[in-house]
Structure 1
């Protein structure tokens, strides 16, 4: 997905013609690599609990810690990129993902947790750097296409890892399975060093924004609704992605392999849902309509995913949940750019806030489910609370001001 800096002016930036295809491949590969690693451990938590003799709360950190690190590095990485340049920023991101390939050699839980935390660093630098890179290499319409594709590739990576982690762990050690998912990071790092380019001759906007202006942006009603809506959906999504495999195995008697496959449908469906959401957003101008529709699907699918008793009902519920969790994303990312009075710097604040707020929400959710499971002996309280959070998107759709957008004007060619 693109990041706040996609609004940074890119005047006088040279076009590199067909080499844009190389840059597109590198950017998409980066998002795929992040997706492959961010939730790969979730179907393997039962194995981690047994091997390390830890409780579910502690095991939940393997899922939650990368999200916390990503949230903590979100805005700082956006500021740092302007200082160190895109080439170094992407190198840091790729190197962080490559570091996770040492998971198979981790001697204890703490070491594995630290390695998993590196994913958050890679997440922040790769995603935050994507925006300005796209603006340097692609025309406006191409940037829109790339935004949809990067989100789809991120979702595809999540789907592949969650669906294949358990079968892979039956062939090799489960920690080594995590190493396999991180190997593309090594390939990507080498590919970026060899082929990655940045138009270093054109500096990014470093004018900044005052703390007073930041406060005004974050007090904007529409912005607050966007932050709450996205955080609410991702509370449910991260909790379910992290714990549904274990819940299905322990409470529904479903094998870990099948449970991982079912949960892997969430991001797999998301690949198509986010592309559909982008196409729909071009035709349906009402953000409220898209938020409400997506919210209804997310709420209904979320409840069904853990309340329905058999796989015959669980499968369609998870599909509906996947659609609702991704359909609104293109509108969410575009809407801040369409708000009256928004400058590139202000949009960057909104995007950075989305990463930070949603990242912290995604960090807390899996831990909450694990804690309540240990305390109550049941997954239902934690999953129910996280499912309730998803109502935020539906409510935000009703509360979103009808005049949140301003008329869009195409810039004149210089």
Structure 2
């Protein structure tokens, strides 16, 4: 019994620390750029672009490594890549530093895929909503840790290099815990007759519509979430101050995650949660963007952030409930989910920049982001409801 909570702690914290390292690096951009004598916003964006590129590519190839190495070694390999972010503290030039961010990005891309077969192996269907809800908040937790502690760590440790080393050392401790407590398990699962099921391939995954609908549903939310920090503050006369938005959205996300877990545990159906949260999230995001009243903007920002995270537990639990799901198949599903979500988000962000440049009005880009956030609402009419039969059976039982 002790193994399960330790495994979950390691999986969650590994990705949270990756997120913390990512965001902390962004927060220390000025110090890093000054150290390498590099100027220009374009050059600075490569610190984030390297990780984004790694996530898009890494998510796609993660399932291949999982098949070749097995769950224990694959997750360990991903953890090593995250730990190798420590090399950034010793990079002699800026391109080398960016390369270390790329390596770390691959580690994070692998971990977020591997946590799904690990969760499926160690936890029961009844436990999945709780565990998936917690894991869905891992990046937000890392973001929060970075915001709360990067400044203090920089002051206490004396340099950005020491902050990078400190976070990486903790990641290495988690790697040791993983090697001590984890174990290999079958990725194929078992059929009802006890025989091994044929391995699920990426080629099969590409042919299944649901594997495309899931990242489509999430991509608009992801784009809108990032736009709140990247685009909305640049809107002239935007009522909410950018320095408060991050704290409000993160806090709302934490509350939304808790509520999302409760909702997923209490209600069997997933699609209604996705549909109505998606609809009202878009509405409140629109009010936030158009209002001139600061109080209304902050309240709507909180509600929109809350509604972004409430459906996440239902969204990431839905694939587990599809018929015939196995650890190997769930890895392919989430490899496609994260890769294409970030790919679409990157494309949408570029389009929003082009819109702003050609029209000269950043507000149009903000409206574009709000419209794109409706992907969750639209996808809810196309996604399957794997728990529908179960819910009908439960309802019939109560009636009887």
Aligned to 2:119, which of 134, 141, 144?
A: 134
Q: Which is worse superposed, 324-333 or 358-367?
A: 358-367
Corresponding residue SS for 1:39: helix
The question of 1:82 aligning with 2:67 is answered yes
Map of 1:170-249 to 2, 5 A cutoff? 177=163, 180-193=166-179, 195-198=180-183, 200=184, 202-205=185-188, 207-209=198-200, 213-218=204-209, 223-242=211-230, 247=234
Deviations 1:170-196 (CA, angstroms, capped at 9, x unpaired): 775566655555443233234434x34
Per the alignment, do residues 142 and 73 of structure 1 end up closer, same or farther by CA in structure 2, a change over 3 Å counting? same
Deviations 1:120-171 (CA, angstroms, capped at 9, x unpaired): 2122222222233334434443344322222233321122224554676677
- Indicate the residue corresponding to 1:34 in structure 2: 18
Do 1:103 and 1:176's aligned partners in 2 also have CA atoms closer than 8 Å?
no
The question of 1:62 aligning with 2:62 is answered no
Q: Which is worse superposed, 264-273 or 231-240?
A: 264-273
Per the alignment, do residues 242 and 34 of structure 1 end up closer, same or farther by CA in structure 2, a change over 3 Å counting? farther
- Indicate the residue corresponding to 1:400 in structure 2: 382
Per the alignment, do residues 233 and 54 of structure 1 end up closer, same or farther by CA in structure 2, a change over 3 Å counting? same
- Normalised by the length of structure 2, the TM-score is 0.78
- Indicate the residue corresponding to 2:142 in structure 1: 157
Q: Which is worse superposed, 363-372 or 381-390?
A: 363-372
- Indicate the residue corresponding to 2:277 in structure 1: 294
Do 1:70 and 1:121's aligned partners in 2 also have CA atoms closer than 8 Å?
yes
Aligned to 1:114, which of 82, 99, 112?
A: 99
Do 1:36 and 1:182's aligned partners in 2 also have CA atoms closer than 8 Å?
no
Report the alpha carbon displacement of residue 382 of structure 1 after superposing the two structures with TM: 3.8
Q: Distance in 1 between matches of 2:345 and 2:154?
A: 25
Q: Which is worse superposed, 307-316 or 23-32?
A: 307-316
Report the alpha carbon displacement of residue 360 of structure 1 after superposing the two structures with TM: 1.2
- Indicate the residue corresponding to 1:8 in structure 2: none
Deviations 1:285-342 (CA, angstroms, capped at 9, x unpaired): 4433212222134323433555555754443233122212211111112223434x55
Q: Which is worse superposed, 326-335 or 35-44?
A: 35-44
Aligned to 1:390, which of 358, 367, 373?
A: 373
Map of 1:85-104 to 2, 5 A cutoff? 85-104=70-89
Q: Distance in 2 between matches of 1:299 and 1:132?
A: 32
Q: Distance in 2 between matches of 1:106 and 1:357?
A: 31
Q: How many residue pairs were aligned?
A: 380
Per the alignment, do residues 31 and 53 of structure 1 end up closer, same or farther by CA in structure 2, a change over 3 Å counting? same
Q: Which is worse superposed, 361-370 or 291-300?
A: 361-370
Do 1:229 and 1:392's aligned partners in 2 also have CA atoms closer than 8 Å?
yes
Structure 1 gap segments, 5+ residues each: 1-16
Q: Distance in 2 between matches of 1:183 and 1:21?
A: 22
Per the alignment, do residues 85 and 66 of structure 1 end up closer, same or farther by CA in structure 2, a change over 3 Å counting? same
- Indicate the residue corresponding to 2:396 in structure 1: none
Do 1:69 and 1:121's aligned partners in 2 also have CA atoms closer than 8 Å?
yes
User: Aligned-residue CA RMSD in angstroms?
Assistant: 3.8
Q: Distance in 1 between matches of 2:356 and 2:17?
A: 31
Q: Distance in 2 between matches of 1:38 and 1:260?
A: 19
Aligned to 1:269, which of 229, 234, 252?
A: 252
- Normalised by the length of structure 1, the TM-score is 0.75
Do 2:201 and 2:332's aligned partners in 1 also have CA atoms closer than 8 Å?
no
Q: Distance in 1 between matches of 2:348 and 2:137?
A: 23
